[in-house]
Amino acid sequence: MPAEFKILFMQGGGLAENAIVPLNLSRGATVDFVVTGSWSQKSRKEAGKYAAEVHTAASGADSKFTTLPDPSTWQLSRGASYLHICSNETIDGIEFQQLPDLKALGSDAPLVIDFSSHVASRPVDWSKVGLAFGGAQKNLGPAGLTLVVVREDLLGHVLPACPSAFDYEVVAENASMFNTPPTWGIYIAGLTFEWLKNQREGDATGVAAIELRNIAKAKALYDFIDASDFYVNKVAVNCRSRMNIPFFLNDESRNDDFLAGAKAHHLLQLKGHKSVGGMRASLYNAMPMAGVEALIAYMREFARKHS
């Protein structure tokens, strides 16, 4: 990570950062959002309480959040304080495979990314990022810890109403100990970071090795779904999430039977979010390939019995 970034350990999760980011970065001006699913919708709504104006530069709502708006179509505000994206949408199964290059799009606004649900699942091109935040509970450690990575030049511009404990500059100056930090969460995250550093796949090490595993896990499940006439994934191929894979049965009256059978096979938490329905498999870093293979084997057998 470049030296000009500060790493902060905070509290409140990604939802709290939806308020803390505009308190620190909006400067009373317009902030831009690219809305690609449920989490970026929540972020945009919260920012409206603090920013002078919230502008939707692009939205995937017309496709029911099954595609990403092409960056060439984004309507970026002149002089925006920042542009916010959620780089992986857990509910909708959408992921930016490449972070947008705002300078190439003619904008000097810093890019803010909510990477809660795929942090440490792949390398980050920090040259494109102004600030990244994420709750720890998906890939780093227990709930209650929030990771914030912020470029130094973005510090020191808080709105007057910002509490000192949420002022990034104050947190940075006090080494994340302005108030009592979530020590257990930080300790567990430290163990996770050590584990990440020690991972290897061929010549790749660390997060690069983890990315190769995640690509392989996601590919195995997507390939099975795409080859099936019993299951379907509705997300465009170029923006499918590696972490969260929603899928639907062609006969949704069998959803409850599918979930009951999955539980009997020790395959848990597969019910899709209530806003979209269907099923959802989450393949976070800790999920081994053996778990994906077990799910595919069950899905194959269920389809055979009910086709």
Residues acting as catalytic residues:
39, 114, 138
Give the residue from 175, 132, 303, 289 showing the smallest Cα distance to 221.
289
